[in-house]
Amino acid sequence: MLSLASFLVSFLLILFSQFSISSYAATFEIRNDCPYTVWAAASPGGGRRLDPGQGWNLWVAPGTAMARIWGRTNCNFDGGGRGHCQTGDCGGVLECRGWGVPPNTLAEYALNQFGNMDFIDISLVDGFNIPMDFSPTSGGCRGIRCTADINGQCPNELRTPGGCHNPCTVFKTNEFCCTNGQGTCGPTYFSRFFKDRCPDAYSYPQDDPTSTFTCPGGTNYRVVFCPRGSPRNFPLEMVGSDMSEK
């Protein structure tokens, strides 16, 4: 039998190992592989202009929850970082302090939650603007992606300059928004449009069983805009437009 001293030592070692796993910041590498400029945004984290091929690294504190990363398109900012984006705008500033305006493809995460697991997802609940890959760079768990030509195939009712709205944004009813609580809504024609093209992604607010994925706490991640295999064309609204900051 273990002595009390040996038991305490073993317990402290286990406790220390659990603490050490969850006490380091997670690294998020954000990369723009689109043939056009994307203004990356993160909450927490701020924002950054990413020209084609450029990247941005974020270090996120353990235990961070309700966090998201997204891309903004067709932005113009002045020298003070104030301006506007066609999609994903966050209060007219380069350094986001809140969430973006739909439509925007979202990489969502919560770190070191129940059982010291990270929970990750790609969400189209706020619509779609840029193809995305959200994958671990460590931890041995699977990545997720949404790379379909959703903007090109978007139903007419959901079309908007630069992206494709989710039906909740357009119709604002419980059928699409699930505002009346758990179990009050289900898949619809419009949510199936998104799910058929991006089966890993959230297509409506209560789409949890097929859309939430886990990785061990301490995993690092990469978010790629326009990953390999996604449509490489410019959104129609960008062709011939001035996409530089002014």
Rounded Cα–Cα distance for residues 208 and 200 (Å): 10
Q: Is the pLDDT of residue 239 over 60?
A: no
CB 131 within 8 A of CB 146: yes
In this structure, how many other beta carbons lie within 10 angstroms of the beta carbon of residue 5?
A: 8
Q: Is residue 186 part of a domain?
A: yes
Q: Is residue 12 part of a domain?
A: no
Q: Is the pLDDT of residue 181 over 90?
A: no
In terms of C-beta density within 10 A (0-12 exposed, 13-18 middle, 19 or more buried), how is residue 103 classed?
buried
Q: Is residue 100 part of a domain?
A: yes
Whole-number pLDDT of residue 208 = 85
Residue type, 104: N
Read off the pLDDT of residues 122-157 as tens digits, 9 standing for 90 and up. Answer: 999 999 999 999 999 998 899 999 999 999 999 999
Find the CATH number of the domain harbouring 182.
Answer: 2.60.110.10
Q: Is residue 189 part of a domain?
A: yes
**Overall size of the chain counted in residues:** 246
Domain of residue 94: give its range.
Answer: 23-225
Going by DSSP bridges, is the β-strand pair 117-123/106-110 parallel, antiparallel, or unpaired?
antiparallel
Q: Is residue 7 part of a domain?
A: no
Q: Is residue 142 part of a domain?
A: yes
Which is more confidently placed, 95 or 25? 95
Task: Compute the half-sphere exposure of residue 172: CA atoms within 13 Å on the CB side of its CA.
Answer: 1
Omega before residue 44 within 30° of 0, cis? yes
**Mean pLDDT (whole number) for 39-46:** 97
Q: Is residue 242 part of a domain?
A: no
Cβ neighbours of residue 42 under 8 Å, at least 6 residues apart?
A: 28, 30, 58, 67, 68, 69, 70, 96
CA 22, 24, 28 angle in degrees (round to 5)?
110
In terms of C-beta density within 10 A (0-12 exposed, 13-18 middle, 19 or more buried), how is residue 196 classed?
exposed
In the block, tokens 């009050």 appear at 184
Rounded Cα–Cα distance for residues 199 and 150 (Å): 13
Read off the pLDDT of residues 159-179 as tens digits, 9 standing for 90 and up. Answer: 999 999 999 999 999 999 998
Cβ neighbours of residue 216 under 8 Å, at least 6 residues apart?
A: 21, 116, 117, 118, 139, 140, 141
In this structure, how many other beta carbons lie within 10 angstroms of the beta carbon of residue 209?
A: 6
Q: Is the pLDDT of residue 235 over 90?
A: no
Q: Is residue 3 part of a domain?
A: no
Q: Which residues pair with 76 in a beta bridge?
A: 84
In the chain, the number of structural domains is 1
Which pLDDT band holds residue 233 (cuts at 50, 70, 90)? low
Rounded Cα–Cα distance for residues 92 and 100 (Å): 10
Q: At 13, which helix (H) or strand (E)?
A: helix 4-22
